[in-house]
Amino acid sequence: MRCAIAGKNGRMGKTLVAALAAAPDAELAAAFDLGDDVEAALSGTDCLIDFTRPEGTLEHLEICRRRGVHAVIGTTGFSPEQKKRIEAAAREIPVVCAPNMAVGVNAVFKLLDVAARILNEGYDIEVIEAHHRHKVDAPSGTALRMGEVVAAALGRNLDDCAVYGRAGHTGERPVTQIGFSTIRGGDIVGDHTVLFAGAGERIEITHKSASRMSYALGSLRAARFLRGRASGLFDMQDVLGLR
């Protein structure tokens, strides 16, 4: 399996290159950055792994579509319209697009679905996430996905019940609200906690990343999943057989 890496000089790009170097069944076919010839880099490549920015990822995805290259997308912060462009590309090539590629985080998504169905009455729900000072989107894609999982399990629409930060005289907390709190600082790789606060008890489901390698290894697992597929849009729940 010949893989190309977008954003080779970034924190995640460097980790992906290291993960590929240690993989027995994959090799680094190309690695590129802003200003490089992406068309040439993707020539003869089986799969692109991209953790860059939405605009750049979509440009790379269009080249993948033209060349029949599979795509694994870990980029976050896509707008609804940009997500539609990913869906359109996936009608011609196979794509895994997920807000978090770590296997452990995707296990947490499953746990949250179960927890929310059990704790469906009498519990206030808060999502707290922390990342390094360089992260440009908030809340993180992982935090938003956690909120979506919980909301769906409770029969709610996250757009209708989410609140992103609080300040001033906010009034009493609505019982159906799902709150988000964002922390940015230092070199925090990624911490996520979903808090279910009830009368006399709290349940916290937490995932902490100590290294970006977990994202890289999950991405390689996603790339393997796409082998032999002609088209389709998948996420890590599909990759891990958690549907």
Taking residue 55's Cβ as centre, other Cβ atoms within 10 Å add up to 12
Closest to 150 in 3D by CA, of 179, 183, 170: 179
Overall domain count for the chain: 2
Residues 79 and 154 in one domain: no
160/116 same-domain check: yes
Is 135 labeled as catalytic in the residue annotation? yes
* Same domain flag for 113 and 201: yes
Of 70, 131, 192, 207, the catalytic one is 131
- What CATH number is attached to the domain comprising 48? 3.40.50.720
132 as an active site residue: the answer is no
Tokens representing 135 are: 């992260």
Catalytic residue among 135, 192, 207, 208: 135
Using the structure block, give the residue that is written with the tokens 């399996």. 1
Terminal alpha carbon distance of the chain? 26
Q: pTM, whole model, 2 decimals?
A: 0.87
Of 88, 104, 182, 199, the closest CA to residue 143 belongs to 182
Instruction: Please check whether residues 197 and 234 belong to one and the same domain.
Output: no
Quote the domain boundaries for residue 136: 103-209
CATH of the domain at 111: 3.30.360.10
pLDDT per residue, tens digit, the chain (243 aa), is 999 999 999 999 999 999 999 999 999 999 999 889 999 999 999 999 999 999 999 999 999 999 999 999 999 989 999 999 999 999 999 999 998 999 999 999 999 999 999 999 999 999 999 999 999 999 999 999 999 999 999 999 999 999 999 999 999 999 999 999 999 999 999 999 999 999 999 999 999 999 999 999 999 999 999 999 999 999 999 999 998
Are 7 and 61 members of one domain?
yes
